[in-house]
Amino acid sequence: MTYSGVMFSAHQDIPRQSLYEILASSDEVNSLDFSDLDFRDMDLSGKSFTGCRFSRCVFVNVKLDRSKMRMCFLDFARFSRCTLTGSDIQFTSFAGVHVNDTSFENSDLLHDNFNGLLAGNVNFSDSDLYNSRFVMATLKDTSFQNCNLKKTMFHQTTRVKVSFKSSNTREAIFDKGEEPE
């Protein structure tokens, strides 16, 4: 089932409970605003989202494995103990997101905005991050092992215990004179 709303309607007339029901019953969701909602202990694997807004949402123990996102906004959301493995996420904004104990392993994360990301114990291993941005991100205990980092920007990032093992860091963009760990 597919659900399409009016793109980014500021005054969406859908009650919160109905948004949860739409999310549970639809495989494809287009142009809905889920901002400020909490998602806990849910399995949203395999769902497709286009033009949806999840700004300031809280995701705790949520599975989004094999999910597809296009042009979505997750600005200032929080993820804790979530999985987005095998996902296809493109042209999506994770600006200012806090992510802890979460995996994006084996995903296509193309042209995504991770600017201002605060990440702790996050796994991006075996992912394609082509042309994504991590400007002013704080990355702690984060793995980018065996990733495609071509044109991926890491400007003004703080990195503690970050692994880039077997990734093409020479094709990534770091601050002048800076070497990845």
Domain boundaries, the chain: 35-174
Is the pLDDT confidence value at 159 over 90?
Answer: yes
Per mean pLDDT, which range of 1-10, 120-129, 133-142 is the poorest? 1-10
Reported as type and span, the H/E element at residue 19 is helix 16-25
The span from the CA of 34 to the CA of 16, in Å, is 8
- Residue range 35-174 forms a domain whose CATH class is mainly beta
Q: Are 167 and 147 in contact (CB under 8 A)?
A: yes
> What is this structure's pTM?
0.92
Read off the pLDDT of each residue in 169-174 and give the average, rounded to a whole number.
96
The pLDDT score that the predictor gives to residue 163 is 97
Higher pLDDT, residue 102 or 13: 102
Question: Which DSSP category does 23 fall into?
Answer: H
pLDDT digits (tens, 9 = 90+) for 105-137: 999 999 999 999 999 999 999 999 999 999 999
Establish how many alpha carbons lie within 13 A of residue 74's alpha carbon, considering only the half-sphere containing its beta carbon: 26
